[in-house]
Amino acid sequence: MNVNGIDYRTVWMEDKEIKLINQTLLPHKFEIYTCKNHEETAEAIKTMIVRGAGAIGATAAYGVAQATLEANKNNYNDYIKKSIETIQKTRPTAQNLFTGINFVLNSIKNLTNLNEIQKIAVEKAKEFSDYDVEACKKIGEYGTSLIKNNYKIGTHCNAGWLAFVDWGSALSPIYSAHRAGKDVFVFVNETRPRNQGSALTAWELAQEKVPHAVIADNAAGYYMKKGEIDIVITGADRIVANGDVANKIGTYEKAVLAKENNIPFYVAAPTTTFDLETEDGDKIPIEERSQDEVSFVYGYEDGKITKVRITPKESPAKNPAFDVTPAKYISGIITEKGIIKANKEEIKKLIENVSN
């Protein structure tokens, strides 16, 4: 991603430290956050300093490598195991978290020399991160075929540069189309309660100079019914065996609205987001986050970010972070291997081809 003329990834590793773009400060402030150990890395995932499927996966992979570098020869097996457990508990819905951890873990689990474990873990974490970049670039190349000139595109949450190591999933086809000279316009749902759409997606699109407008979450149906949205593309935090998709809360209702208004609804995700061990969406664990995210909002005033309560003190809040969109509402899934239907047969074939 290009920020003020400088190319960045969302996450990378320098020696024993993990560097992250601090997404909690955007769009008001651009800052690099440093995780000095695996516990700080886990906390950064949990508190959403880094968020988004691919970015979480890469950070988790680097976190495992970081843990191996912290270990000593006397108890490294137990130390690495406990470190992985700490990272696994941070975001239970995001499949890429577990994919990233297992990618590194499977490469070192049979090794007995700590120096070799450390070397391989760092190499594999970097390999996993690099794959995320290339996969998202390919998603853009396949997905741009769905976007015609003068298309108006709906999206939800943030599935762009910031949600992956680079390029993104849902926004990658938009960037590819825009760079190819197509005229596009993006309707950006604000995505309450953490406002990843208005804070992150809008910031990205502004950096890339893609025409767009932020809309209230409840306005999406209004624009769909008016015929002002030609296609909807979202990301995914987990895609299970039958094609059901877990994504940021509010995605399900956008899919239903798109179906009602005969608008194609596509999900973009790399194969690292697929979970064939889970049969259907009812079995996906849904993360429940703090009610403070609903009760308070953050804003920028007089050079600082402030927190303001918007609900009565006496009123509790509920805050599911994700919902599940059934496969029947999904027109197709855009992957780095091509566009497939959201059904068990095509998903199984896709993952088998990747494995082979």
- Residue ranges and CATH numbers for the domains of the chain are 2-137 (1.20.120.420), 142-355 (3.40.50.10470)
Q: Give catalytic status of residue 280 as yes or no.
A: no
pLDDT reported for residue 73: 85
pLDDT in tens, 302-352: 888 899 999 999 999 999 999 999 999 999 999 999 999 999 999 999 999
| Closest listed residue to residue 273, CA positions, set 179, 105, 107, 159 | 159
pLDDT in tens, 257-316: 999 999 999 999 999 999 999 999 999 999 999 999 999 998 888 888 899 999 999 999
Amino acid identity, residue 33?
Y
Q: 144 with 177: CB under 8 angstroms?
A: yes
Q: How far is CA 70 from the centre of its chain?
A: 27
Indicate the pTM of the whole model. 0.93
* Omega of the bond leading into 193 within 30 degrees of 0 (cis): yes
Q: Give every strand in the sheet of 11-14, ordered side by side.
A: 11-14, 17-21, 32-35
Residuewise pLDDT in 10s, the chain (356 residues): 878 778 899 999 999 999 999 999 999 999 999 999 999 999 999 999 999 999 999 999 999 999 999 999 888 999 999 999 999 999 999 899 999 999 999 999 999 999 999 999 999 999 999 999 999 999 999 999 999 999 999 999 999 999 999 999 999 999 999 999 999 999 999 999 999 999 999 999 999 999 999 999 999 999 999 999 999 999 999 999 999 999 999 999 999 999 999 999 999 999 999 999 999 999 999 999 999 999 999 888 888 889 999 999 999 999 999 999 999 999 999 999 999 999 999 999 999 988 76
Report how far residue 37's alpha carbon sits from residue 193's, in angstroms, rounded to the nearest whole number.
30
Please identify which of the residues 166, 237, 244, 275 carries the catalytic annotation: 237
pLDDT reported for residue 1: 80
275 vs 124, 162, 232, 284, CA distance in Å? 21, 22, 23, 10
The pLDDT mean for the chain works out to 96
pLDDT reported for residue 17: 98
